[in-house]
Structure 1
């Protein structure tokens, strides 16, 4: 199943019993990839950012299945000031910060290695050589197996990969950005701190770099495709959105699927790993249903051409 389970609410709004049930169901259905971070969900009052990793770690310990699970976690955006719900005091990506963050994540997850370790945000105050050297050191220690960059400009991703190639270091082979079927207005600004949208430039770059995999977050736009009380964000407020939504609904009806499932299938058809955050078993089962949904060439072309 080429879907990663987003785990932001695990251990908080989704309690331990429900967290375990969701993780059990996901794994039983063939899911292996879990996406978390060392700061989820720090922006909620009274939360430290430990909660998601701790919940996953408790489940891994209870099930004894660490080697069957692909763990994705992140460093760089954890507040250094207790109670700060912004990124103003983020730990950043200095070598000491990366090393400390990794130790914290390993401890909370109850594991001795991370499958893909991400730079959660850009930190332009730190040279790439320092950050990538710290990641490479973790890899040499066996604590990290691969690395990725989240919320990064395409030109900086290319520059970072060149730095690693020149020095023989572990390169970024994953990139994580906000992406969905709808296309934003050019130069649209998101209200969520730190979020970056996929651009045409990034998609073009990915097509030329076969070793680089895109993980997409906010794929279902907080439920806006199917829930009337969740309006579509105004960054998508343009005539093309109306046309793409019409095609999406047509395809969903033809396939006997939900719009959410078609969006996920459309992403996976391009080799993208969609991250799907769920808080209920019904949401999880809908996402699992997308794993077997296939879009033929005609349907993909129809969806792609709507603009």
Structure 2
């Protein structure tokens, strides 16, 4: 198997000054990518943490520049894209890793607890992709990796805004995969599990040791490579475990109009909620076809 290379590929990584984003940037840079380390975080003296990562990459023989634009707002994203365009003229890879979360019961939320999280995860995704995809279309090439979360897919108490934002990103990618399917631009999702500054508080020492951030980066790098042909897929990665996630729909029940009532729903609720005959649904069209097949077969059976 030949070694995957990122020579001269321009990669923008948001939230890249620490944690998972830092590992993504370091790995891509070690394989030849030109990495833009976007992060607003600073140390206790007010120095951008992005500069530290840039220095590490350069010392290792890689190529990186720091960028401190705030991608939670449209103006910050415009500044980021302009800086990259002026320096390199193209963007081949986007890894949108930046994020925040609020750990608080939903009924204790203040408006800012909702909007601060939505702005960076979901609205930031919108503005980033709206700016970057046209540049990728000009060259008919791009690799986009968006970060989702099990909190969005499965839920977690006290993280309502984070869960809503991350599932919003999931839905965004499901639409984009269809709009980009006739291009060489691939857009995928990763749900990482790793011991970072945001997750360490919830992990015991043994789990902390098992969930090294370095063990997520190879999957993200694969999705950023020319070799990746997946589009619209969702992956789970953590501690050496890798898997794919899909939405499944049960076999379903057909109830004719003349028999449809609240009571008939109650009487069929076990079958309605049964997922043992579930099938993977990858598009709205596929879901609609499945529904209509059930309706038409049910009507035929009802006439007999």
Q: Same fold (TM over 0.5)?
A: no
TM-score grouping bracket, smaller chain normalisation: 0.3 to 0.5
TM-score normalized by structure 2? Answer: 0.38
Relative contact order, higher structure (CA 8 A, sep 6+): 1
TM-score normalized by structure 1? Answer: 0.37
Could you say which structure has the higher helix fraction? 2
Could you say which structure has the higher strand fraction? 2
